[in-house]
Amino acid sequence: MLQRTIAKAVEATGIGIHKGRPIRMMLEPTGVDKGISFYHAKKEIEIPLSVGNVVNTAMATVIGRSQAYISTIEHFLSVLYAYGIDNIRISVDGDEIPVMDGSAISFCLLLDEAGVRMQQQPKRVLKIKKTVEVHDGKKFARLEPSVESSFQFRIAFPHPVIQEQSHLYHFGKRSFVEEIARARTFGFAKDIQSLQSRNLALGASLQNAIGLDSRRVLNKEGLRFENEFARHKILDAMGDMMVTGYHIVGKYVAFASSHQLNHALTKEIFSQSGNYEIMPIHALEDACYESHFA
């Protein structure tokens, strides 16, 4: 399997969830081995995607460099993970990636519109060789060696709609679109006032998130899946693992993980060279691995 970029430039506009302002996002193809790179068009600063460029993980995953930052990159990155895109430039004229409907499905449609172009170098993946784990009290995130890429996420909220729920997803591009991409981010009405008083979540609405009061879902249309919350956590985790720049061959397992813990996990991977191997996809034990990207 060869490296992939998009076949043509495409763009989308949408509001940013934190500042509530419209953002124009442009996707451009780039050359072999260029990797994933963000560009803050107003500040004219390039921010290559890397674990070292993550500057904040409190509300979303944020990368930054020399006075410029771009927030909420994780939903878009989950789609690059699923579509197997290795080389792309994402340009935005603001400080965040548009939130769209709070899920990743609009970005899937955007990539479908752009198309995928194969490039003349083998695709490389990050194969987990030794189990790596990070925790914070009972919360944890772990990557175990496996012949496949899978994500198992469990959450427990003392809320009648959420309670304890989990989801197990075996990686595949098509199953991503069906199972994961449409799962929306969520928030509690009781938190929104305090966030907005701190100038956060100014763009949040029932058009781009599942809203919950103390008893029920506030969105008229209800949930898209019974365990939409756990599925969205997988979407976030895939995006956060993509910050490594690679598709990860391994089994991700988490309980109540956050962007912060996911970021700690990616740092932990790279903390010891024996934890992982970057290898061409055709050298994996599973000779048919690339069929997952079909």
Residues that bind Zn ion (CB under 5 A): 185, 236
Give min distance, CB of 113 to Zn ion, in A: 23
Alpha helix stretches (DSSP H) within 189-250 = 189-197, 228-242
Active-site residue 259, yes or no? yes
Nearer CB in complex with Zn ion: 185/219 = 185
Q: Which of 201, 224, 209 is nearest to 19 (CA)?
A: 201
Minimum Å gap between C-beta 100 and Zn ion is 11
- Min CB(166)–Zn ion separation in Å: 17
Query: In terms of CB distance, is 96 or 236 closer to Zn ion?
Result: 236
H helix or E strand, kind and range, residue 260: helix 259-271
Amino acid present at 133: E
The one-letter code for the residue type at 233 is K
DSSP annotation of 168 reads E
Q: Which is nearer to Zn ion, 77 or 248 (CB)?
A: 77
Shortest distance (Å) from residue 61 CB to Zn ion = 9
Distance of alpha carbon 215 from alpha carbon 194, whole angstroms: 19
In terms of CB distance, is 71 or 185 closer to Zn ion?
185
Three-state secondary-structure class, residue 25: strand
Our CB check for Zn ion shows the closer of 1 and 264 to be 264
The H or E element spanning position 279 is: strand 276-280
Least gap, CB of 43 to Zn ion (angstroms): 25
Instruction: Return the DSSP state at 194.
Output: H
Instruction: Please list the alpha-helical segments (H only) found in 140-203.
Output: 173-175, 189-197
The DSSP output letter for 290 is G
CA distances from 226 to 154, 199, 221, 232 (A): 14, 32, 13, 12
Min CB(26)–Zn ion separation in Å:
22
- When the beta carbons of 185 and 262 are compared against Zn ion, the nearer one is 185
Q: Which entry of 40, 75, 259, 292 is annotated as an active-site residue?
A: 259
Burial zone of 125 (CB within 10 Å; 0-12 exposed, 13-18 middle, 19+ buried): buried
Percent of the chain as helix, strand, coil, to the nearest 5? 25, 35, 40
Query: Cα separation of 166 and 257, whole Å?
Result: 12
Instruction: Show which residues are catalytic.
Output: 259
